[in-house]
């Protein structure tokens, strides 16, 4: 990949220069049986969003081409990037994602044995 | 600031041999600072802006485009008003009621009302103005009147 020098003097890959990189804001809530994360991703379509789970690392990436930014600001578009390390109490097999109106809702279930249980008294 | 005065004058404050006059002076000064504190707090509370959505403005040859990031909003939650050369965006984002009882681990997103006014470089008058809302991005395109469009002058 071509290396170029950015205005601040840093040596970066050419592709990094063309996209405005944004760390999306997130809210994380804990429910009884799951964690829910809400990410602000304005402008993102389902097809542009990539969620990857590797071991306990969850990464989010979304790249949006933006003709207006390209014409007027010199960027090809913008890219959202964020990574999370999941705790031991979540079950990586129970991840649900829903993108609506520029907000991603991620629901990650808790491990079975960690859910609060009511013990019946005999 | 009142706390500062109290720490600056610890001896006077606690000295059992200080005269009544000194004590009343210290009390008055302390009260004055307390009042100032309250006043400053009220001022900064008033001066603190509510949240503002990110906005990008593009000035093209044929249109003036205002684009606002409003993730989580629906069309009904936003109002766009044009008066003369002033365009106002306002709306409200409410927290999701499903998570009212949940334990909060991170809260980086903003909620509440916003209002933002832009003064356009021209008065649109009857020019077509179009607002579109998609994936949490509001795009308002204001067509430029003929007189505002750039004219290219041929060099002889």
**Domain contains A29:** yes
**Domain contains A117:** no
The residues in B 126-155 lying below 8 A from A, measured between CB atoms, are: 135-137
Residues in chain B within 8 Å Cβ distance of A26: 106, 108-109
Higher pLDDT: B147 or B84? It is B84
Strand partners, A107: A36, A96
Please judge whether A42 and B137 are an interchain contact, meaning their C-beta atoms are less than 8 angstroms apart. yes
- Enclosing H/E stretch for A53: strand A49-54
Please tell me the predicted confidence (pLDDT) of residue A39: 97
pLDDT confidence band for A87 (50 / 70 / 90) = confident
Tell me how far apart the alpha carbons of residues A97 and B92 are, in angstroms, rounded to a whole number: 25
Residues in chain A within 8 Å Cβ distance of B52: none
Per the CB < 8 A criterion, the answer to whether A20 and A77 are in contact is yes
**Domain contains A90:** yes
User: What's the number of domains chain A is made of?
Assistant: 1
Contacts (Cβ under 8 Å, ≥6 apart) of B23: B12
Please tell me the predicted confidence (pLDDT) of residue B39: 77
**Domain contains A13:** no
Please tell me the predicted confidence (pLDDT) of residue B33: 79
The CATH number for A102's domain is 2.60.40.790
**Domain contains A11:** no
**Domain contains A66:** yes
Please tell me the predicted confidence (pLDDT) of residue A8: 60
**Domain contains A44:** yes
Largest Cα–Cα distance of chain B, in whole Å? 95
Please tell me the predicted confidence (pLDDT) of residue A64: 93
- Give per-residue pLDDT as tens, B32-80: 877 887 777 766 656 555 678 999 999 999 999 999 999 999 989 999 9
Q: Is the pLDDT at A120 greater than 70, yes or no?
A: yes
How is chain B split among helix, strand and coil, in percent rounded to 5? 30, 35, 35
Minimum distance, in Å, between the CA of residue B110 and any CA atom of chain A: 9
Distance of CA A68 to the CA centre of its chain: 24
Per the CB < 8 A criterion, the answer to whether B72 and A103 are in contact is yes
Q: Is the pLDDT at A15 greater than 60, yes or no?
A: no
Looking at the complex, does the CB of residue B71 fall below 8 Å from at least one CB of chain A?
Answer: yes
Range(s) of the domain holding residue A35 = 21-112
Tell me how far apart the alpha carbons of residues B62 and B145 are, in angstroms, rounded to a whole number: 8
Query: Range with the lowest mean pLDDT among A48-57, A78-87, A111-120, B74-83?
Result: A111-120
């Amino acid at each position: 990949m071509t290396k170029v020098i950015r205005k601040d003097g840093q040596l970066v890959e050419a592709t990094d220069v063309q996209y405005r990189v944004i760390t999306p804001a997130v809210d994380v809530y804990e429910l009884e049986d799951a964690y829910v994360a809400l990410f602000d991703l304005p402008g993102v379509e389902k097809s542009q969003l990539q969620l990857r789970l590797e071991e306990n690392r969850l990464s989010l990436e979304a790249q949006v081409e933006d003709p207006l930014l390209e014409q007027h600001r010199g960027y090809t578009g913008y890219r959202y990037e964020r990574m999370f390390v999941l705790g031991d109490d979540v079950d990586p097999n129970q991840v649900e994602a829903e993108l609506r109106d520029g907000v991603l809702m991620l629901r990650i279930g808790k491990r079975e044995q960690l859910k609060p249980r009511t013990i019946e008294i005999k | 600031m009142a706390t500062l005065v109290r720490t600056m004058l610890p001896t006077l404050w606690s000295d059992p041999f200080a005269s009544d006059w000194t004590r009343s002076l210290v009390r008055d000064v302390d009260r004055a600072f307390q009042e100032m504190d309250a006043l400053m707090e009220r001022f900064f509370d008033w001066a603190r802006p509510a949240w503002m959505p990110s906005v990008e403005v593009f000035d093209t040859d044929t249109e003036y485009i205002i684009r606002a990031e409003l993730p989580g909003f629906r069309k009904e939650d936003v109002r766009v008003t044009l008066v003369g050369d002033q365009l106002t965006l306002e709306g409200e984002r409410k927290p999701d009621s499903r998570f009212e009882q949940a334990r909060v681990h991170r809260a980086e997103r903003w909620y509440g009302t916003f209002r933002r006014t832009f003064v356009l470089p021209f008065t649109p008058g009857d020019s077509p103005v179009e607002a579109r809302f998609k994936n949490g991005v509001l795009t308002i395109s204001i067509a430029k009147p003929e007189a505002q469009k750039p004219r290219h002058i041929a060099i002889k």
